[in-house]
Structure 1
Amino acid sequence: MRIRRVACLLFAGFCVIQLTLLYFENLDIQRFMPNEKTNKPYRVLRGYNKDSTGKYLIHRFYKSEGFNLDSIEPEDVTLVTHCTVDRLHHIIGLTETWAGPMSIAIFAPGTDSAFADDAIDGLRLCWPVLRKLANFHLVYPKHESTRANMSSAGDFVYLSCKDIMRRMVLKKSLLESQHSPGGLGYPHNLMRNVALSGVLTNFVLTVDIEMIPSENLRKDFLEFAKENHLHPKPHTVKNNQEYTSVNKTVFVVPAFEVKKDSEIGGTKQSIIAAMRKSDARPLLQETCPQCQVQTNYEKWASTSGLVHQFGVAYEAEFATGWEPFFISSRMAPWFDEKLTKFGHDRLSQICELKSNEYTFKVINNGFLIVASFRIKSRMTEEEHIRKENKITFKDQFRAGLRKSGRIASDLIGVC
């Protein structure tokens, strides 16, 4: 009898050990492992995918155990964005104005990944709606020196929401740090595409993390899409017929920069009033005027009589160098990850849209704002090159398109 009891206890202990090991094997965060070079312990992430080049590791739907797929309606618009860990605090403003699904890619090399892990938990704790609306994706270089290091994960435990916010605002990313490894760059188009891969709705709006949508932009567009039958029917997605004609229209959202600390309302009347007082102006007006000129802000402001009716104000003509922000079908071309040179990243998608005969229609009642003026004195060297050497910039961009091969050679001339 005693032997049987001992055997049962041993078997139970064996089962507990096996279940414990199985638990740790399936955790995203692996137990402490030795660094090959320093032999110091550090924690790493598991369950990743590689990008097409094999240089970056990707964790899609990171910490998604609280994300409810049933809460996402296909007939919606997902706000797509990306950032480094020092800009995560901007998510709060986006959440308050967008109030809809979001897909966010975070570039987190080295110990930035531990901060991102803590920040995601903190954001969900203090702003619970994020657990329902936002999915996160982690990206970092494969190289040993910048691979995700989770050693410091857990620093946000027991912090108040005020302290969590303070840490996010004060945080400096590894890219900003003086200890940043040489050659560590930000893969803009990879980040955009990773965030796009998390979209579960019919439409997307891809923006920079600092951009804030005007009030009711999502709500108004959804009503507009429903009234105009823009959402695809199940059979049209499969046979690619009726859906194709809808798919080839993108809805341009005018983007503005406003003076810091200016109180700008979320309506069209308020942004027009701010422009008259010189508290707001078209995005990049001083540093890259060609980037937004085709949106035609004067014409947009003249449609102020339609402020109570959401719809298309006019169709904009494509021009080389134009970089509009827009709502599009999630089936629209993504970004070319092979083009990494400054200024070429977003242009590649616009050119691909044009070469595939997409039309650009400017909405009359909705916009994006960035809370600061971009001025010449703060332009980077790369921005100066783009502004002052337009012909060289264009030639290099077209050469990049030819090398990439995503656009037919005879169509590259339109870019």
Structure 2
Amino acid sequence: MIVMTRRNWALRLSIVLNICVLLYVCAHFGSWQEEGTNWDTGGVAAPLVQNVFGSESIQINSSAKTAQEARATRVMGIERYEKKNIDTSTAGSEGGIKGVDATKILGKDDTIEGQVNDPLSPSSLNLKDIVACTDKSQEPRKMQRGDYWVLYNYVPMTISVKCWETLTYTTHADYTFLDNVEPLLERWRAPVSIAMHAPGYDFQTTVDSIKYLRNCGSELVSQLVTFHVYFSSKHVPNVVPPSKEVVNDSYNCTLGPPWANPQNKKMYKVEKNLLYPVNVGRNIARETAVTHYLLASDIELYPSPELPSKFLEMIRRRDQPALLTPNPKVFVLSIFEVDEKSLPPKNKTALQKMLKSGSAIPFHKKVCSACHNIPKSKEWQDAPETDGLHIFHAGKRTGTFVHWEPIFIGTNSDPSYDERLSWEGKSDKMTQGYELCVLDYDFLILDNAFLVHRPGIKSHKKDQKRDMITAKTNHFIKKIIVPELKVMFGKRTGCAV
């Protein structure tokens, strides 16, 4: 009887031990896989290459894929991971390269070995889903816009991007300002949308200037810049060649830039005494931006480098309370001028040194300091530079800043510019500022990003002719536009034009 009892206990103990062993194996099965054992193929577990924005992860079998086949290419602040070699000779799709040598602009091949993050952590959020935008066509088209003919996407950029991948710098110009394109691109390195005012015979000089930039200048121009052209129906050019003809035509580079040719100094616009329809250009360039986020700026304002990538990384993180408030919001850039002997600073630390030495000053300090008096500007200038991009302060366009004309990163959901206002009449952005104020926008000032005007500090100059136009414009705004805005958008205490 004693022997049987001992056998029963031994059997029970054996069963318990077997169960413990099984539980131990099951508990460690997953961890053994993560440590490198491939239970399906007997090979090494595939490394994880993770998109910098967290939008996609690609599993790559290390025994079959080469570094080039699983390349991480960098362009315009975008990290792209291609499973196949990039064909640089044919038109691309899905964010690929069309007809250009990708290696010239994408940077050296690189792969990033990401880590699997907590799915609830801000660093794991998907930028593509956060932005949730729709891609736009870059096909050329001709349309009327009020009194203007517009050649949308007349000369499109050759790179195709998704609407969530980067930012577009939107601006306006006539051909005399096109010498700013290359220095702007060197710092921005992302899509640029430019609306060119080209009435009468200014049209041909504008087309020649575009050809010069694309054929004789930096290859970034053809890759990243889309040119739109517009002119009044009362000042239509004699000939408007098809878009394809302009895109494919070459240019004799020995002739130099058309805007520097003395023969082109006498503009049609000047001869006919035309006003510059600045806000028509602003709206055209903005509406045709291929990305959700855009920086509506003036072509002589150069952004701090790496702004697109840093901005989108901030949006992806969504780890700052100011980004999560229900109010509509725009992202404001501080603006500065530097003297003509200086180069625009490449980062905030360099800018701070120039401010202390006097070689840099706040924008329009000697022309209209109130127009660009940014909230907490002194604190911003004193705050040390940090890594990445963050919200420095959330301001409003009221009180001391009631006449503030901020330049900001926003979207096409933001109020547009009143196209009845001209550059000569000044105050061309004031009405938009009023709309933003009434709609209770938050003006989120970025901490390490800024704009710098092309070298040369502006000073106030007396211009009797322009002063007359300004007086008429102010009267028009007060008597016609402001009453309209109050009907359309309502009123809010503290808001004014």
What TM-score, normalized by structure 1, do the two folds share? 0.73
| Correspondence for 1:7 | none
C-alpha distance 115-176 of structure 1, shift in aligned 2 (>3 A): closer
Amino acid of the structure 1 residue aligned with 2:295 = L
Q: Does 1:148 align with 2:242?
A: no
| Correspondence for 1:301 | 381
Amino acid of the structure 1 residue aligned with 2:170 = V
Task: Write out aligned runs for 1:291-370 (5 A).
Answer: 291-304=371-384, 306-318=385-397, 319-340=401-422, 342-370=425-453
Cα pair 1:85 1:171 within 8 Å, conserved: no
| Correspondence for 1:49 | 143
Cα pair 1:201 1:330 within 8 Å, conserved: no
Which one has a larger percent helix, Structure 1 or Structure 2?
A: 1
> Residue 277 of structure 1 is aligned with which of 342, 354, 357?
357
1:149 CA drift (Å): 3.2
Distance 2:263 2:489 in 1: 42
Cα pair 2:211 2:251 within 8 Å, conserved: no
Deviates more, 1:73-82 or 1:184-193: 73-82
1:76 CA drift (Å): 1.9
Cα pair 2:141 2:153 within 8 Å, conserved: no
> Residue 397 of structure 1 is aligned with which of 470, 474, 477?
477
C-alpha distance 229-57 of structure 1, shift in aligned 2 (>3 A): farther
Deviates more, 1:208-217 or 1:291-300: 291-300
C-alpha distance 59-171 of structure 1, shift in aligned 2 (>3 A): farther
| Correspondence for 1:408 | 489
1:178 CA drift (Å): 8.9
Higher-RCO chain (CA-CA 8 Å, sequence separation at least 6) = 1
> Residue 259 of structure 2 is aligned with which of 151, 154, 168?
168
| Correspondence for 1:128 | 219
Amino acid of the structure 1 residue aligned with 2:238 = N
**5+ residue gaps, structure 2:** 1-139
Amino acid of the structure 1 residue aligned with 2:307 = L
| Correspondence for 2:314 | 224
C-alpha distance 173-397 of structure 1, shift in aligned 2 (>3 A): farther
1:73 CA drift (Å): 4.1
Distance 2:489 2:402 in 1: 17
Cα pair 1:336 1:348 within 8 Å, conserved: yes
Name the SS for the 2:387 alignment partner: coil
| Correspondence for 1:213 | 303
Q: Percent identical across equivalent pairs?
A: 23
1:199 CA drift (Å): 0.9
Cα pair 1:287 1:374 within 8 Å, conserved: yes
Distance 1:360 1:408 in 2: 18
Q: Does 1:61 align with 2:141?
A: no
Q: Does 1:266 align with 2:355?
A: no
What TM-score, normalized by structure 2, do the two folds share? 0.62
> Residue 191 of structure 2 is aligned with which of 93, 101, 109?
101
**5+ residue gaps, structure 1:** 1-45, 231-242
Distance 1:386 1:317 in 2: 30
Cα pair 1:190 1:337 within 8 Å, conserved: yes
Cα pair 2:148 2:231 within 8 Å, conserved: yes
Cα pair 2:278 2:421 within 8 Å, conserved: no
| Correspondence for 1:239 | none
Q: Deviations over 1:140-188 (max 9, x none)?
A: 1111xx312349999x95522x643x43344686885696113x11111
Cα pair 1:251 1:328 within 8 Å, conserved: yes
1:80 CA drift (Å): 0.4
Task: Write out aligned runs for 1:195-210 (5 A).
Answer: 195-210=285-300
| Correspondence for 1:234 | none
1:90 CA drift (Å): 0.9
Distance 1:108 1:393 in 2: 23
Amino acid of the structure 2 residue aligned with 1:147 = V
1:122 CA drift (Å): 2.3
RMSD: 3.3
1:102 CA drift (Å): 0.9
Amino acid of the structure 2 residue aligned with 1:216 = E
Distance 2:282 2:270 in 1: 26
Distance 2:426 2:392 in 1: 28
Cα pair 2:311 2:389 within 8 Å, conserved: yes
1:385 CA drift (Å): 7.7
| Correspondence for 1:86 | 176
Name the SS for the 1:79 alignment partner: strand
C-alpha distance 382-374 of structure 1, shift in aligned 2 (>3 A): farther
Cα pair 1:282 1:297 within 8 Å, conserved: no
Distance 1:202 1:140 in 2: 27
Larger radius of gyration: 2
Distance 1:252 1:140 in 2: 31
1:344 CA drift (Å): 2.8
Deviates more, 1:331-340 or 1:264-273: 331-340
Q: Deviations over 1:16-51 (max 9, x none)?
A: xxxxxxxxxxxxxxxxxxxxxxxxxxxxxx963112
Name the SS for the 2:229 alignment partner: strand
Count of matched residue pairs: 343
Cα pair 2:148 2:230 within 8 Å, conserved: yes
Q: Deviations over 1:395-414 (max 9, x none)?
A: 75343423544743534971
1:278 CA drift (Å): 1.0
Distance 2:450 2:494 in 1: 30
